[in-house]
Chains A and B, each alone.
Chain A
Amino acid sequence: MNSIIMSFENVTFTYMQEDESVKPAVNDLSFSIQDGEWIALVGHNGSGKSTIAKLMNGLLFPQTGKVEAMGKLMSEESLWDIRSQMGMVFQNPDNQFVGATVQDDVAFALENNGVPHEEMVVRVKEALQQVKMADYLDHEPHHLSGGQKQRVAIAGALALRPRLLILDEATSMLDPQGRMEVIETIRELRKATGLTVISITHDLEEAALADRILVMNAGEKQLEGKPDAVFRSGNELTNLGLDLPFSMRMTHLLREVGIELQGEHMTEDELVDELWTFYSKK
């Protein structure tokens, strides 16, 4: 299936429109996301990423242009139907945990959508298994690590069996271990279900795993393409306040000290391989 699950068409949004000195947070933005894709939306803090997230779930509506999701135009009428088909995980693990325990929290969206009790029990278990938190049914949020809380939030989204999962800076407040847990969970989910994922992030290591990257700057789309193509633009990213993945940073540093590497390396292994070829040619 190759249908479009989310699209922005010339979308512009300005906070405090009446004040003309305020620049639009999102300016004439167009993109579309296919069913089954993993898209990373990257940009430094203040590049318009969080406004895009709010436009995606109907917390904000565009002033010009249109947003379409699940084949419907985003409007007051279609809003709840669209929301029931997408899950969203936010930045702060504490501020989105509604339930008193893990299982209550996962059930929250199901309760809201009037899912019958027997069905809920099955779905809650299933969703928690998918994020490997099935042993924590009765745990309270303050006894969980940040990574665990975010996985519970993902389970809460999955329980609704959504077509789209949006991660809005979901890893930015976590420690490295928590970040790994969440990224690993998403990778496995993708492998198992092919769920469409939009991750909004400033972590390019995370973005490198996506099928496609959209780079935002000052409310506008700066770059778009497959990760290796985007990373090849090197300095342009660094100038935007973003950091290249480690192996690419190393490639650049090696060039600076006079090692004429040919490729741009997305992984450490590729870099090691070229260095080895380089070395053995001598």
Chain B
Amino acid sequence: MMEKMIFGRFIPGNSLIHQMDPRAKISFVFVFIAIVFIANSAITYGILLGFTLLVVFLSKIRLYFLINGLKPVFILLIFTFLLHIFFTREGDLLVDIGFIKIYEEGLRQGIFISVRFLVLVFITSILTLTTSPISITDGIEVLLGPFKRVKLPVHELALMMSISLRFIPTLMDETGKILKAQMARGSDIGSGPVKDRIKAVVPLLIPLFVSAFKRAEDLATAMEVRGYRGGEGRTRYRQLNWRLIDSLSLVVLVGLAGILVYFRV
């Protein structure tokens, strides 16, 4: 299950979307989130959905993987949909089977909310699927730059984030390894009564903590020996490159907002 989850993961590629500047993509997502709330009719939601599918198409991420990887999210989606259907009691009565009553407005709301949810999840997933975590970090660091004035430790936060991201696969591997080692010694998190499962977490967590501390210590030593003394006087190796397409993407977004406002009921 976990390995099929693609929410928050990065698939390398060189599509148009992959090549965009992370600052543009992050801004794009935030603006898009705001724009979504303009939609309020079948046409506007249809336009949003069409636009989102176009972005998915441009990213060259296969829709199958996207849908397959976001399965857990769909459970939530269906749940919200049902909630709306059963609890909105406006408009004409469409279905009436005993205690189940579905009204037209309920169905409409259910579909709208689901589409809204879907496009948000798709667009944010496309952001993380097409942007390496380190680029996202870079983007955030630059976008948060102005907050340095109010003493927000932006550099340190970004470094922390990039190191955490860098160590996620390492720690995942290690978790898997220790889990297997303890399973081989007869401890099993995956089965048995809840009490046993909770007990089985300890032999997993303690070695993980011990190792994470050891790694942190080693890493601190390595960083210090390599001359790390905080953000002061540091230069940056990674340079961001804002191109025409990045400006264009934001223009397109403004256009989209305009269209939505025009078709809004």
Q: Which A residues have a C-beta under 8 Å from some C-beta of B?
A: 57, 59, 80, 83-84, 88, 90, 92, 94-101, 103-104, 107-117, 120-121, 124, 140-142, 156-157, 160
* Contact flag A95-B236 (CB < 8 Å), given A112-B228, A142-B169, A142-B170: no
A86 (CB) vs chain B CBs: closest residue: B225
A50 CB, min distance to chain B CBs, angstroms: 11
Additional A-B contacts beyond A94-B215, A109-B227, A116-B235 (9; CB < 8 A): A84-B227, A98-B163, A98-B219, A104-B134, A108-B228, A111-B237, A140-B166, A142-B173, A157-B226
* Contact flag A114-B222 (CB < 8 Å), given A97-B166, A98-B166, A142-B173: no
How far apart sit A110 and B215, CA to CA, in the bound complex (Å)? 23
A103 near B225 (CB under 8 angstroms)? no
Most buried by A among B132, B162, B228, B238: B238
Q: Point out the residue from A83, A103, A120 that lies within 8 Å of B235, measured CB to CB.
A: A120
B218 near A95 (CB under 8 angstroms)? yes
How far apart sit A157 and B215, CA to CA, in the bound complex (Å)? 20
Q: Which residues of B contact A103 (CB under 8 A)?
A: 237
Q: Which residues of B contact A141 (CB under 8 A)?
A: 166, 170
Q: Point out the residue from B215, B225, B227, B237 that lies within 8 Å of A124, measured CB to CB.
A: B237
Q: Which residues of A contact B221 (CB under 8 A)?
A: 59, 90
B133 near A156 (CB under 8 angstroms)? no
B162 near A111 (CB under 8 angstroms)? no
A95 near B235 (CB under 8 angstroms)? no
Q: Is B229 in the interface zone, CB < 8 Å from A?
A: yes
* Contact flag A114-B218 (CB < 8 Å), given A98-B226, A100-B165: no
Q: Which residues of A contact B133 (CB under 8 A)?
A: 100
How far apart sit A179 and B239, CA to CA, in the bound complex (Å)? 35
14 contacts between A and B (CB under 8 A): A80-B227, A95-B215, A95-B219, A95-B222, A98-B223, A98-B226, A104-B237, A104-B238, A109-B226, A110-B237, A111-B235, A112-B228, A114-B235, A120-B235
How far apart sit A104 and B159, CA to CA, in the bound complex (Å)? 12
B211 (CB) vs chain A CBs: closest residue: A95
Q: Is B234 in the interface zone, CB < 8 Å from A?
A: yes
Q: Which residues of B contact A117 (CB under 8 A)?
A: 235-237, 239
B222 near A98 (CB under 8 angstroms)? yes
B166 near A112 (CB under 8 angstroms)? no
Q: Which B residues have a C-beta under 8 Å from some C-beta of A?
A: 132-134, 162-163, 165-166, 169-170, 173, 214-215, 218-219, 221-229, 233-239
Tell me what chain A mostly uses at the interface: helix, strand, loop, or mixed: helix
Q: Which residues of A contact B218 (CB under 8 A)?
A: 90, 92, 95-96
A107 near B166 (CB under 8 angstroms)? no
Q: Which residues of B contact A140 (CB under 8 A)?
A: 166, 169
B174 CB, min distance to chain A CBs, angstroms: 9
B162 (CB) vs chain A CBs: closest residue: A100
Q: Which residues of B contact A80 (CB under 8 A)?
A: 227, 229
Q: Which residues of A contact B170 (CB under 8 A)?
A: 94, 141-142
Q: Which residues of A contact B132 (CB under 8 A)?
A: 100
Q: Which residues of B contact A84 (CB under 8 A)?
A: 227
B96 CB, min distance to chain A CBs, angstroms: 57
How far apart sit A263 and B234, CA to CA, in the bound complex (Å)? 56
A113 (CB) vs chain B CBs: closest residue: B227
A57 near B223 (CB under 8 angstroms)? no
B169 near A112 (CB under 8 angstroms)? no
How far apart sit A271 and B101, CA to CA, in the bound complex (Å)? 94
B219 near A112 (CB under 8 angstroms)? no
How far apart sit A152 and B229, CA to CA, in the bound complex (Å)? 22
